[in-house]
Amino acid sequence: MSANNENNDDWADAWVEAPPPSPWQLTGFVEAAYGQFLQSNVVKDGASLNELRARINLDYSHKFFEASGKLDSYYDAVLAKTIFQTRELSISASPFSFVDIKAGRQVLTWGTGDYLFVNDLFAKDWQSFFSGRADEYLKAPSNSLRSNWFYKEVNFTLVWTPEFTPDNYITGERFSFYSPQAQQIVAPANAFTVDKTSQAQWSARLKTRIKAVEFSLYGYRGFWPTPMGSKVQVENQAYFPKLNSWGVSALAPFKGGIVNIEYASYNSIEDTHGNNDRIANGQHRLLIGYEHELAKNFTASMQYYLERTKNYQAWLENSANPEQLVAENRHLLTLRLSYRAQKQTLLYSIFTFYSPSDKDGYIKPSVNYQYNDQWLLSAGANVFFGEQEYSFFGQHQDNSNAWLRARYQY
């Protein structure tokens, strides 16, 4: 290695001879991950994460289309089973100059929040998020048809998901949660049954840019992504009530940083007046954020988020446990600090949620070390705290965990 300086030219010249580009590209990684609860928890296993995963990405590029497949196979020791998961299996093409289509299994994202979602109702994987898997796993795939239409500075995106895809929410299989029915923290060994609809969901966004400011208008027609309803007639069976929403966002550079503001109105149309205790009320969701690089390689971002329950009084009057309801205005503050060192190979990050209204929070510290082009080592924790065991983050106190991951990329 000491001859690097002198012999640099050898391989540099070799690079000039380009190999013939292949339309096929194979990449992927192998990863081992382990996480453990930091206190006793009512779940079956003391490990929050214990898996060995192999990822295969296979891409094919044709003159008229792109095909992409991303397959995860892993042995999950927490669930004691081998799981195959297709994260992507899609074809993309531009049939006309003004439209791009992507069809198949894919991950979808939009909106301006950081770990907070206002208009993005695409499927998320909260189990992955809570367990310390890589950030990409926070977004769950769905079988969808996305069309992107372009006219001058205007972009219209329409996503059709023929069969509603919910979040991978907390079920008790891996993490415990508070059951309002049982009035305690539970972790049912067999995930509670949820009646899942097979109807379609639609998401739309109209986006444009005026000078440096990006504006978007959003619409959604579908269902709550988590089972926010329960049926009286079928023994409290949980289900996904219908949800429609619309919203707006703006994002712009401001004083050397980026400011974003986003709003959405959630209309829980099976409970428009909010007097059905078994179905979540509609909400106003508002997000304001600002990100700024405070020093070289050191970035801070803050968000204020408000979840205001519609028809709160009606809900309160019809609730079986009014004292445990979330406040009409649920305030949430987040702070992300990240610092990159050693030529950006070492990334320290801490993300904190704190709700002054719920008096609870969630801290996510992590360290990522890219040892070389192949090896990525990561460690971190998910720490929940709160005064009440029924609040949003408070119910997860016993789920607090620390984790390690080692990934080899090829």
Binding footprint of other proteins on the chain (CB under 8 A):
1-2, 4-5, 8-9, 12, 15-16, 18, 25, 27-29, 57, 61, 63, 92, 94, 96-98, 100, 106-109, 135-136, 138-139, 148, 150-152, 155, 212, 214, 251, 253, 256-258, 291-293, 295-297, 299, 343-345, 370, 372-374, 376, 409-410
CA–CA distance, 339 with 198 (Å, rounded to integer): 44
Rg (CA), the chain: 23
Q: Which residues contact 342 (CB under 8 A, 6 or more apart)?
A: none
For residue 98, the minimal CB distance to other proteins (Å) is 5
Q: How far apart are CA 17 and CA 91, in angstroms?
A: 31
Q: Which residue's CB is nearer to other proteins, number 45 or number 291?
A: 291
Q: Which is nearer to other proteins, 21 or 323 (CB)?
A: 21
DSSP state of 20: P
Question: Does residue 256 come out as left (phi exceeding 0), alpha (psi in the -120 to 50 range) or beta?
Answer: left
Cβ 158 to other proteins, closest distance in Å? 15
The neighbour count for residue 320, using CB atoms within 10 Å, is: 9
Q: How far is the CB of 33 from other proteins (least distance, A)?
A: 16
The length of the chain is: 410
- Shortest distance, position 254 Cβ to other proteins, whole Å: 9
CA 80 to the chain's CA centroid = 25
- Smallest gap from Cβ 143 to other proteins, in A, equals 15
Cβ 31 to other proteins shortest distance, Å = 12
To other proteins, the closest distance from the beta carbon of 137 in angstroms equals 9
Strands 237-239 and 194-195: parallel
Q: Which CB atom, from 58 or from 79, has the smaller least distance to other proteins?
A: 58
- Alpha-carbon distance of 191 to 199, in angstroms, equals 22
**Which residues have a Cβ under 8 Å from the Cβ of 239 and sit 6 or more positions away?**
194, 195, 196, 197, 227, 229, 230, 231
Tell me whether residue 256 or residue 320 sits nearer to other proteins (CB atom): 256
| DSSP letters spanning 199-241 | --EEEEEEEEEETTEEEEEEEEEEE-SS--EEETTTTTEEE--
Nearer to other proteins, 8 or 73 (CB): 8
CB of 332 to other proteins, least distance (A): 21
Q: Toward other proteins, which CB reaches closer, 141 or 229?
A: 141
Helix (H, G, I), strand (E, B) or coil at 13: helix
Is the sign of the CA dihedral 260, 265, 268, 274 positive or negative?
Answer: positive
In terms of CB distance, is 98 or 322 closer to other proteins? 98
Neighbours of 371 (CB within 10 A): 11
Residue number with CB closer to other proteins (107 or 286): 107
